[in-house]
Amino acid sequence: LEEQRKKDEL
């Protein structure tokens, strides 16, 4: 989840 949220940013 943490990973996913980080990659959500550009």
How far apart are CB 8 and other proteins at their closest, in Å?
5
Q: Which amino acid is at 5?
A: R
DSSP label at 8?
T
How far apart are CB 9 and other proteins at their closest, in Å?
7
How far apart are CB 6 and other proteins at their closest, in Å?
6
H-only helix segments in the chain:
2-7
- Return the residues of window 1-10 that contact other proteins according to CB under 8 A: 4-10
Spatial separation of the C-alpha atoms in residues 2 and 4, rounded to whole Å: 5
Q: Which residues bind other proteins (CB under 8 A)?
A: 4-10
